[in-house]
Amino acid sequence: MQVYLPIAEMSVDALLLVGIGFGVGWLSGLFGVGGGFLLTPLLILIGIPSPVAVASGANQTLGASVSGLIAQWRRGNVDPKMGLVLLVGGFAGSAAGVQLFGLLRRIGQVDLAVALFYVVVLGTVGALMVMESVRAILRRRQAMRRRLHEHLWAHGLPFKMRFRKSRLYISVIPPLLVGFLIGVLSAVMGVGGGFMLVPAMIYFLGMPTSVVIGTSLFQVVFVAANVTLLQAAQLGTVDIVLTMLLLAGGVAGAQFGAAMGTRLRGEETRALLGLMVLAVAASLLWELVRTPERLFTSGPAL
């Protein structure tokens, strides 16, 4: 069934979009991440223009993360104070990111920038995840104990603040910085950034894992909302029909994924997710390196 996307100004198979939403939702339910990093490249692959794919991807991530946030909030797994500090950085970052995106669009390098961001960020995060989980699997075999609390260099900075729920007394600079960077990436890549935020919170800020998922969802929901709003207001690239079709599939897919996720072990799940992230990065890198079929492209003049 073909459906006309009013902002992308093209006609796409609605079932294909619902299917993509379902697949990405299933994976995100399985791994506990928003799945934006898979969604935006897939949308670009089926011919949605990069700016619309990025903006609508952020909009879809918002919807997909809301249900997760509600569940985590009910269980008390959200540190609102840490979330707000991250959010201040996140808002500044996403505002800067949308400006950067507008500039890239004017000089005609959006496709390159989006692809490069994906390759670098996904490549790094994927490699770290695989390495970390392999190490964890090995450690489990050796039955070694980890230290409960680690002191990192980031803990020595000024402007300290107490985060009760996270049981931390640290400077506000690292969380602000983390929030800002995730905000920029969110605007340029159309992702929520959960797959980067979670490791950053654990290894960089030293937060306990119990509040990490909930707090990262808190940040993702509001940053994605901000990106959606800014992209819609400044660039006019959010396609609500596209978003709703993706969400229709995504909401259903997430349920199946989450049900299946409970049967998988943590380290194996993370290793799998890491491999998948690496695969997406590798395929995008290949697109940049290989000789393109068409040397010329055309686009609207801005």
Partner 1 sequence: MIRGALTLLLLLLPSLLLPTRLAAQEQLLVAALSQTAVEVTTGFTGATLTVFGSTDQLIGPGADEVLIITRGPTRPLVVRRKVRAAGLLWVNGPSARFGYVPGYYALASTRPAWQILPEEARQRNGIGLDALPLESTGARSPAFRAALLELETASGLWSEDSTPVEIHGSRLFFTHLELPATVPTGDYRVEVLLVRSRRIAARQELTFRVDRVGTADRIATIAELQPVVYGLTCVLLAAFAGWLGSVLFRRG
Give contact residues for partner 1 (rule: CB under 8 A).
Answer: 2-4, 6-7, 9-11, 59-60, 62-68, 70-71, 108-109, 111-112, 116, 221, 225, 228-234, 236, 238, 240-241, 243-244, 247-248, 250-252, 254-255, 258, 288-292, 294-301
Indicate the residue among 42 and 178 with the shorter CB distance to partner 1: 42
Cβ atoms of residues 259 and 25 within 8 Å: no
Q: How far is the CB of 265 from partner 1 (least distance, A)?
A: 23
Indicate the residue among 112 and 275 with the shorter CB distance to partner 1: 112
Indicate the residue among 143 and 289 with the shorter CB distance to partner 1: 289
Nearest-CA neighbor of 189 among 292, 61, 85? 61
Q: What separation in angstroms does the CA of 289 have from each of 16, 37, 116, 279, 292? A: 28, 20, 11, 15, 8
Indicate the residue among 174 and 192 with the shorter CB distance to partner 1: 192
State the Cα–Cα distance between residues 264 and 271, nearest whole angstrom: 11
Q: How far is the CB of 290 from partner 1 (least distance, A)?
A: 8
Query: What is residue 13's three-state secondary structure?
Result: strand
Q: How far is the CB of 241 from partner 1 (least distance, A)?
A: 7
Q: How far is the CB of 5 from partner 1 (least distance, A)?
A: 8
Cβ atoms of residues 47 and 242 within 8 Å: no
Cβ atoms of residues 202 and 212 within 8 Å: yes
Indicate the residue among 257 and 274 with the shorter CB distance to partner 1: 257
Q: How far is the CB of 19 from partner 1 (least distance, A)?
A: 17
State the Cα–Cα distance between residues 105 and 100, nearest whole angstrom: 9
Token pair, residue 157, equals 């900075």
Paired sense of beta strands 160-163 and 10-13, if any? unpaired
Tokens 């902002």 sit on residue:
7
Q: Name residue 59's amino acid.
A: N
Indicate the residue among 39 and 271 with the shorter CB distance to partner 1: 39
Q: Which residues pair with 163 in a beta bridge?
A: 168
Nearest-CA neighbor of 38 among 57, 19, 55? 57
Q: How far is the CB of 206 from partner 1 (least distance, A)?
A: 30
Q: How far is the CB of 156 from partner 1 (least distance, A)?
A: 38
Indicate the residue among 63 and 174 with the shorter CB distance to partner 1: 63
Q: Which residues pair with 10 in a beta bridge?
A: 5
